Amino acid sequence: MSVEIRPLTAGEMGQLGELGGYVYGGSFGDGPDNVVATANLPDWTLCALINGKLACSFTAIPFTMRANGNAVALAGVSTVGTQPEHRRQGLLRRIQTQAFSDMHDRGQSLAALWASQAAIYQRYGYAMTTVLRSYRVDTTDIGFHDGDWGSGHVERLSVSDAFDVIKSTYIRFVENRICYLHRSKTLWLQNAMEEIEEEGPVHAGVHFDEEGDADGYVIYTLRANKVDHATRGQEIIIRDMAWLSMDSYRSLWEWLKRHDLVGRVSYRTAAVDDPAVELFAEPRLLHSVDHEGLWLRIVDVEGALKDRAYSNDGEITIGLTDDALTPWNNRTIKLEASTGGGHVSSSQSAELNMSAKALASLYSGFRTARQLQAWGLIEGEDRVIDTADRLFASSHAPHCPDHF
């Protein structure tokens, strides 16, 4: 049996589509020219071929991620799948080990994915770092406890006419946030602006402040016969929402409330720190449910710490437990953090000791050092734990609404 671990050629991409169609049960199409094959480039793949046939697939899409005010290179891991007859033979581990080395060489200090099964990827040091919060609220139940509905106005536009202002608003919205991706036009079209027949056409509501400047938007679909209600059978599905002021946020919800024939507004990709649960008069009527989000892996500790921006200045030394998948990280690093980024150097002794998985949780701001210490996932003195929490604090919870 001849096993090759290598990128696919252009002529082999059809095999990627066929395997993806089978592994994911047709979620992205069944044929060789489905989304899995057409949305990826051969250079992004790293696969195992046995006697010339695709046995295990893997892609790493080049992205840029926001990191508390800075940009960090990230590999978006996707299209992972193995033929049933070749599972549990170590193929994915071989690919993942080689992929981490390749990412390191390319300067991609982070990797992220949407996990089909968490158990698989925790073995490779990935940590869940975001939450997708979903709302399901009747328009009659939209209301703020303080009666403040905002003072601007919202205008409905086609997504094509509104795209430039939406994109510029998004760039400003995510600037100092963490885990959001820089969006290419393709990423916009595959997520927030994707046309799905059963959900209806995609619309945009753009908020303009009192000076007439755009400072918020909501991208959504609207479709009838979705709710079992005699007069309000329509459903709005919010695809994406961004705001540059709380006045904009309030005004966007007030505008959604004006859809009198809508019996349900569904928002499936809200952040865990979305303000609605604090502002709504009856927050339980949001029917809020939290779902597992993005999983993050530190590929190159030095690069990741150097490129992130920090909320405060300070110094700390971090030692990682032995990591066979990324051996270049098996060292103690001194981080000199500042609001502009980090300076990294080697150190002889570590004030904090943790795994790469725990560092991903801390790095993203999803977990505090104090939490991780309480759970036995970080070792260090209390004063150093406090320093870590001060450095890695962020103004916003980590969030990524974009699937890939």
Residue 324's Cβ-count burial label (10 Å; 0-12, 13-18, 19+) is exposed
Q: Is the dihedral of CA 186, 187, 191, 192 positive or negative?
A: negative
Amino acid residing at 65: M
Name all contacts of 102-105 with Cβ < 8 Å and 24+ positions apart.
102/46, 102/60, 103/60, 103/75, 103/299, 103/300, 104/299, 104/300, 104/326, 104/328
> pLDDT at position 367, please?
98
- Answer for the pair 137, 261: CB distance below 8 angstroms, yes or no: no
> pLDDT at position 345, please?
96
> pLDDT at position 263, please?
98
Distance between CA 298 and CA 222 in Å, rounded? Answer: 40
Q: Which residues contact 287 (CB under 8 A, 6 or more apart)?
A: 135, 136, 137
pLDDT block averages, 10 residues each, the chain of length 404? 93 96 92 91 97 96 97 97 96 97 98 96 97 98 97 95 97 98 96 95 97 97 97 98 98 98 98 98 98 98 97 96 92 95 95 97 98 98 97 96 97
| Fold (CATH) for 300-392 | Nonspecific Lipid-transfer Protein; Chain A (3.30.1050)
State the Cα angle at 211 between 166 and 277, rounded to 5°: 60
Read off the pTM.
0.95
The domain spans of the chain are 3-108, 132-292, 300-392
- Answer for the pair 153, 354: CB distance below 8 angstroms, yes or no: no
HSE, CB side, 13 Å, CA atoms: give it for residue 151.
4
> pLDDT at position 321, please?
86
Distance between CA 94 and CA 217 in Å, rounded? Answer: 44
State the Cα angle at 339 between 336 and 341, rounded to 5°: 55
CATH superfamily of 132-292: Gcn5-related N-acetyltransferase (GNAT) (3.40.630.30)
> pLDDT at position 112, please?
98
Q: Which residues contact 374 (CB under 8 A, 6 or more apart)?
A: none
Same CATH fold, 132-292 and 3-108? Answer: yes
> pLDDT at position 1, please?
73
- Answer for the pair 95, 75: CB distance below 8 angstroms, yes or no: no
Amino acid residing at 17: G
> pLDDT at position 153, please?
94
> pLDDT at position 222, please?
98
Domain 3-108 top-level CATH class: alpha beta
